[in-house]
Amino acid sequence: MQTFTLIFLIALVLTTLTQIWLAARHIRYVRAHQDKVPEEFSSQISLSDHRKAADYTCAKTRMDYPGILLHVVLLLAFTLGGGLNVLSEFWAGWLSDPLMHGMALIISTFLLMSLAELPLSYYRTFVIEERYGFNKMTPVMFFTDLIKQAALGLLLGAPLLFCVLWLMEKMGESWWLYAWFAWIAFNLFVLAIFPTWIAPLFNKFTPLEDATLKTRIEQLMSKCGFKASGLFVMDGSRRSNHGNAYFTGFGKTKRIVFFDTLLARLNPSEIEAVLAHELGHFKHRHVIKRIVVSFAMSLAFLWLLGYLMQQGWFYQGLGVDVATVPSTAMALLLFFLMMPVFTFLLHPISSLYSRKHEFEADAYAAQNSSADDLVRALVKLYQDNAATLTPDPLHSAFYDSHPPASIRVAHLQSQGQV
């Protein structure tokens, strides 16, 4: 057995057992606290709603088990099981051009993985989400969305993939730097076109018509120094009863979007507080900071890939026999498949960074709107989305981009305005 094979298997076992252990912890913790509403929420959330949130959380978390095991099976089947070798040989019989062969290999691999995961996605939507009253999708809408996503992925992703593979082939040892610039340009392009070209493919966006609410929001935006291309309402209720709000785009394409479900549930002052939170992300440049971090990480990963693709043990250790003639496409594919195994234990760092931004945005909302209104809005959203108020702390540290409900509310209350 290759040394790298052993390292890979140890990392895979460690990651898999950690994921299963975290899911089991989460379920036990939520169940242990399902019969008592936390004191700070007891006047607003009923015991029945609290128990519903516990049931919903546990049902979703139990679905992690087959997802984790399926991922392990697919990963081993494609790598040490020889699946990538079989696919590569299949496409070699049809495509002689190395770039076309590489694109076919990568696209077909991810297509097969997506098809294997499709039953779990369908079950989550039409069993779990349906059971708890959130799903509004029909099977036709579900598969139509999948077709749109696949077509959009090919339309945008295929040219990027071709560009990266070409750079890997033609630009020598420094290809990873050129590929990084291409990756930056691609991401900025997608950010620019997402609000006006991509998002409308899946949802309908209409200008906010409530004149009183619009005036109130525009006053808040003016106070915060935020300019947007428009205020829009998204028909989120076509697919789900979950509610949210966000701003998207950058430069002149920035726009603020409210789910229609959120507008139906919150009063104007609560909507203003939620928007103030989103504007806090803008004011603290959180989106820009996350983009910069993402680009820095991608540069490091591309450099690492540039090193690994020259090492025979990298291919052989993952079950691919191309040590004598390294394949750029195979190296890229192997890298994407194995990296999550080695980076999983870094999740708490990413979650901690994200929660820091959420605290900063909450503080900004408290200063420019009302902490009291934001707390009420959050409690309504927790209730409507059946979000558990008592997550397992360690599970939350790994996975949650937002602080747990009790900690977040306590932080807002510490602003002295509630």
Tell me the pLDDT tens digit for each residue of 167-202: 999 998 899 999 999 999 999 999 888 888 888 999
How far is 392 from 404, CA to CA, in rounded Å? Answer: 9
- DSSP states of 240-296 as a string? BS---EEEE--GGG-EEEEEHHHHHHS-HHHHHHHHHHHHHHHHTTHHHHHHHHHHH
The pLDDT score that the predictor gives to residue 324 is: 41
Instruction: From the candidates 64, 278, 373, 384, give the one annotated as an active-site residue.
Output: 278
Closest CA to 247 of 274, 269, 214: 274
How far is 374 from 220, CA to CA, in rounded Å? Answer: 14
Whether the pTM exceeds 0.85: the reply is yes
pLDDT in tens, 285-325: 998 999 999 999 999 999 999 999 989 899 999 999 764 44
362 catalytic per annotation: yes
Instruction: From the candidates 64, 362, 384, 392, give the one annotated as an active-site residue.
Output: 362
Name the amino acid, one letter, at 327: S
What residue ranges do the domains of the chain occupy?
A: 1-418
Yes or no: say if 228 and 282 are a contact pair by the CB < 8 Å rule. no
Residues in contact with 175: Cβ distance below 8 Å, sequence separation at least 6, in sequence order: 167, 168, 169, 306
The pLDDT score that the predictor gives to residue 106 is: 95
How far is 13 from 19, CA to CA, in rounded Å? Answer: 10
Tell me the two tokens of residue 244. Answer: 């949210």
Given pLDDT bands bounded at 50, 70 and 90, which one contains residue 282? confident
Given pLDDT bands bounded at 50, 70 and 90, which one contains residue 417? very low
Closest CA to 383 of 49, 47, 42: 49
Closest CA to 404 of 383, 382, 385: 382
> For 347, how many CA atoms within 13 A lie in the half-sphere containing its CB?
18
